[in-house]
Amino acid sequence: MSEKTKITTKDIRRAKGARRLVWLTAYDTVTARLAVAGGADALLVGDSLGNTILGLENSVPVTLEMMLHHTAAVARAKPAALLIADVPFAIAHYSFDRVLDACAQLMRAGAEAVKIEGGTDMAPVIARLVAAGVPVCGHVGLQPQQVFRLGGYKKFGASADEAEQVRADALAVAEAGAFAIVGEMLAPATAAAVRDALPVPLIGIGSGADCDGQILVIHDLLGLTENPPPFAKPRARLADAAVAAIAGWAAEVRG
C-alpha cells in the first residue's frame, strides 16, 4: 500500500488472508515518522511507553493523561498508518460512561482506534464501544496490565484448557466487533489455531510466525532497549551508534 494512502480499520480487516500486517509502537512524532517511512501498517501508542521511555517498572502506573499526551504527539506526524491508542490500566473496567469518555478523549487527541486488554469479560464493553462508533482492537493472551495478578510475564496456551480459553477470549472479542486482535506470548500452536478460527487478523507479539501480522516495540526493534524480550531481535544497534556519536562529539569539545 502506498505511503500516501491512509490505512483504515477496513484495510486492516481486509488484509486477513491476503497479506501479512506490520505494526509498530510509536510514542512521539519522531518514532511515528520512522515507523511509517519503514512501511508500518499501524502504529500503536502503547501503554508500554511506561517502561519503554518513562522509566517505570511496567505499564500499570501509566495514566490516561500520559496516553493523551503521547497520542497527540504521534498524531502530529499525520501518519498514513492507522493510529491506535491503548486504554490504560483499569479504565476499561469502570462504568461504561467513563470508558466511553476515555476513548473519546483518545480519539480527540488523534487516535483512530483504541486497544483494550481482555477477553470474554470485556466483550460486552467492546460491543457497546463499537456501537458508539469507537473502533476497538482486542488483546488476548498475556495482558501486561494484569502483571501483578499474574505475578510476572508468562506464555499462554501451552495446556489444552488454556489454549481453549485463549480461543474463546479471541472469538468473543471478534464477535463483539473488534477489527483485529493482538495475541501476546501465545504458544505458537495456539496462535495458529486462533488465527484460523478468527474472522479478523491476529497480530502476534512473542507468539510465533503463524499469525496474520506482527507487532513490536520500536525501541526493541532498533536496539534502543537495554533488555529486550527474547522474541524481539534488534535489526539495528542504534543505542551503540548514539553513544559512539555522543562520545565522539564530547571528545571534540574537550579537545
3 within a domain of the structure (yes/no)? no
Residue 1 covered by a domain: no
* DSSP string across the chain: --TTSPP-HHHHHHTTTTS-EEEEE--SHHHHHHHHHTT-SEEEE-TTHHHHTS--SSSTT--HHHHHHHHHHHHTT--SSEEEEE--TTGGGS-HHHHHHHHHHHHHTT-SEEEEEBSTTTHHHHHHHHHTT--EEEEEES-GGGHHHHTS---B--SHHHHHHHHHHHHHHHHTT-SEEEEESB-HHHHHHHHHH-SS-EEEESS-S-SSEEEE-HHHHTT--SS--TT---S--HHHHHHHHHHHHHHHHH-
Catalytic residue among 57, 112, 184, 226: 184
pLDDT of residue 2: 43
**2 falls within a domain:** no
- Based on its alpha-carbon atoms, the radius of gyration of the chain, rounded to whole angstroms, reads 18
Domain assignment present for residue 107? The answer is yes
Q: Mean pLDDT per 10-residue run, the chain (255 residues)?
A: 78 98 98 98 97 94 98 98 97 97 98 97 98 98 84 82 96 98 97 98 97 98 92 94 98 96
Owning domain of residue 171: 9-254
Does residue 87 sit within a domain? yes
Cell of 225: 532497549
User: Which pLDDT score is estimated for 144?
Assistant: 86
Report yes or no on 248 lying in a domain.
Answer: yes
For the chain, what is the domain count? Answer: 1
- 238 located within any domain: yes
Looking at the domain assignment, is residue 243 inside a domain? yes
> With 0-12 CB in 10 A as exposed, 13-18 as middle and 19+ as buried, what is 210?
middle
CATH number at 65 reads 3.20.20.60
User: Is 184 among the residues known to form the active site?
Assistant: yes
